Chains A and B, each alone.
Chain A
Amino acid sequence: MINRRRIWALMRKDWRELSRNGQAAAPLIIVPMLFVVVLPIAVVLLGDNTLLTSSIGGLQGFLDHLPVGLIPAQFSPQQSVVYAVLVYFMAPFFLIIPVMVSSITAASSFVGEKERRTIEGLLYTPVTDRELVLAKTLVSVIPSVALAWVSFLVYTAIVDLLAGPRLGGIFFPTWTWVVIVVVLVPLVGFLATSLIVAVSGRSRTMQDAQAASVLVILPVLGLVVSQATGLLLFNTSVALMASAALLVLDVAVYLAVVGRFRRERIVTLL
Chain B
Amino acid sequence: MVSPAEALAPDSKVPTLIASRLTKTFGTRTAVSDLSFEVARGHAFGLLGPNGAGKTTTVRLLTGLISPTSGDVTLFGERLTRDNADELRARVGVQTDTNLYETLTVRDNLLVWGELYGLNRRAIGRRTLEILEILALSDRIESVVGELSKGMRQKLSVGRAVLHEPELLFLDEPTAGLDPEASEDLIVCLVQMIHAMRTTVILCTHQLHGLEKLCTDVGIIEAGTLVTTGDVGELLRLRWPRQRYSVSVGADRDRAERVITQVVGEVDETKGSAHLDFSVDDADEISDVVAALVGAHVPVRSVVPRQPTLHDLYFATVEQRDKS
- Binding partners A and B: yes
Contacts of B137 in A (CB 8 A): none
Closest to B63 in A: A124
**Residue A64 CB within 8 A of the other chain:** no
* Contact partner, A13, options B92, B102, B112, Cβ 8 Å: B112
**Residue A260 CB within 8 A of the other chain:** no
* Contact partner, B66, options A3, A16, A264, Cβ 8 Å: A264
- A127-B86, A263-B65 known; A118 vs B101 contact (CB < 8 Å): yes
| B118:A263 contact, CB within 8 angstroms | no
| A125:B89 contact, CB within 8 angstroms | yes
| A267:B89 contact, CB within 8 angstroms | no
**Residue B115 CB within 8 A of the other chain:** yes
| A126:B65 contact, CB within 8 angstroms | no
| A268:B26 contact, CB within 8 angstroms | yes
Contacts of A3 in B (CB 8 A): 118
- A120-B96, A121-B98 known; A128 vs B86 contact (CB < 8 Å): yes
Contacts of B92 in A (CB 8 A): 124
Q: Please measure, in the bound complex, the distance between the C-alpha atom of A125 and the C-alpha atom of B288, giving whole angstroms.
A: 60
Q: Please measure, in the bound complex, the distance between the C-alpha atom of A117 and the C-alpha atom of B89, giving whole angstroms.
A: 20
Query: Contact size class for A?
Result: 20 to 34
**Residue A37 CB within 8 A of the other chain:** no
Q: Please measure, in the bound complex, the distance between the C-alpha atom of A124 and the C-alpha atom of B66, giving whole angstroms.
A: 11
Q: Please measure, in the bound complex, the distance between the C-alpha atom of A119 and the C-alpha atom of B103, giving whole angstroms.
A: 15
| B116:A9 contact, CB within 8 angstroms | yes
Contacts of A12 in B (CB 8 A): 112
| B96:A121 contact, CB within 8 angstroms | yes
Q: Please measure, in the bound complex, the distance between the C-alpha atom of A127 and the C-alpha atom of B102, giving whole angstroms.
A: 21
**Residue A65 CB within 8 A of the other chain:** no
What total of A-B pairs shows CB separation below 8 Å? 78
- A6-B116, A126-B116 known; A267 vs B60 contact (CB < 8 Å): yes
| A126:B115 contact, CB within 8 angstroms | no
Closest to B170 in A: A124
Q: How many residues of B contact A (CB 8 A)?
A: 30
* Contact partner, A116, options B89, B102, B108, Cβ 8 Å: B102
Closest to A126 in B: B90
Contacts of A123 in B (CB 8 A): 65
Q: Please measure, in the bound complex, the distance between the C-alpha atom of A34 and the C-alpha atom of B278, giving whole angstroms.
A: 85
* Contact partner, B65, options A6, A9, A264, Cβ 8 Å: A264
**Residue A196 CB within 8 A of the other chain:** no
* Contact partner, B115, options A9, A120, A128, Cβ 8 Å: A9
* Contact partner, B98, options A17, A117, A126, A128, Cβ 8 Å: A117
* Binary B-proximity of A5-46 (CB < 8 A = 1, otherwise 0): 110111011001100110000000000000000000000000
| A17:B104 contact, CB within 8 angstroms | yes
Q: Please measure, in the bound complex, the distance between the C-alpha atom of A17 and the C-alpha atom of B117, giving whole angstroms.
A: 20
Contacts of A118 in B (CB 8 A): 98-101
Among B86, B96, B104, find the residue whose CB has the most chain A CB atoms closer than 10 A: B86
Q: Please measure, in the bound complex, the distance between the C-alpha atom of A123 and the C-alpha atom of B118, giving whole angstroms.
A: 15
Closest to A117 in B: B99
Contacts of A125 in B (CB 8 A): 89, 113, 116-117
Contacts of A8 in B (CB 8 A): 115
- A9-B115, A13-B112 known; A124 vs B89 contact (CB < 8 Å): yes
Contacts of A116 in B (CB 8 A): 99, 101-102
**Residue B181 CB within 8 A of the other chain:** no
Contacts of A119 in B (CB 8 A): 98
Q: Please measure, in the bound complex, the distance between the C-alpha atom of A20 and the C-alpha atom of B99, giving whole angstroms.
A: 17
**Residue B67 CB within 8 A of the other chain:** yes
- A10-B116, A127-B86, A264-B65 known; A16 vs B108 contact (CB < 8 Å): yes
- A5-B115, A17-B103, A118-B98 known; A124 vs B108 contact (CB < 8 Å): no
Other A-B contacts than A9-B116, A126-B90, 7 sampled, CB-CB below 8 A, are: A10-B112, A21-B103, A118-B98, A118-B101, A122-B116, A125-B116, A126-B118
Q: List 28 A-B contacts (CB under 8 A).
A: A5-B115, A5-B118, A6-B116, A6-B118, A9-B116, A13-B101, A16-B104, A17-B103, A116-B101, A116-B102, A117-B98, A118-B100, A118-B101, A120-B65, A120-B96, A121-B157, A122-B116, A123-B65, A124-B63, A124-B89, A124-B92, A124-B96, A126-B90, A126-B116, A263-B65, A267-B66, A268-B26, A268-B66
In the A-B complex, the 5 residue pairs with the closest CB atoms: A9-B115, A126-B90, A124-B94, A121-B98, A264-B66
Chain B residues within 8 Å of A, Cβ to Cβ: 26, 60, 63, 65-67, 86-87, 89-90, 92, 94, 96-104, 108, 112-113, 115-118, 157, 160
